[in-house]
Amino acid sequence: MMLRLSAALASCGAVYAAYVLFDSSDFEAGTVNSHHSMCAAFALIASTLIIAAPPQISAASVAVKSTGGLALVVGLSIAVAAWSIPYSDDSGYLGIITVMFGLPMLGLLSVAAVLVALGTLIAELVASKATGR
């Protein structure tokens, strides 16, 4: 479970890294570096796969499973949008809008993955104390 928590924390870091890469860009002037965009897309794909990975708990709730599914849809769409921003023409604001709304949502899903991992770890610790192991 510590591996799951570490992966969830890495996911938060990956989303923040993608945010920093796009924060250094000026979308209105069209100065989005294609290398920054590619790195952000790979970071977002890695973060998405970490969040969407099913937890190792046997009775994972519907909320946890739906969070993973939502993260998969949001993360992959942001990654595609991030990849395509430098190559779009002047009317390609859909990718920019997708990134601007999707990055905070993926960040929240990353934090939710951290909280689920922490909650599961605490539940396992309490259960092991109760059984005396």
- The pLDDT assigned to 102 comes to 80
What pLDDT, in 10s, does the model give residues 80-90? Answer: 877 777 666 65
Decide: 85 and 61 in contact? Cβ < 8 Å.
no
pLDDT < 50 positions in the chain: none
pTM above 0.85, yes or no: no
- The pLDDT assigned to 29 comes to 62
What pLDDT, in 10s, does the model give residues 49-65? Answer: 777 776 655 555 666 66
- The pLDDT assigned to 61 comes to 64
**Class of residue 38 by CB neighbours under 10 A (exposed 0-12, middle 13-18, buried 19+):** middle
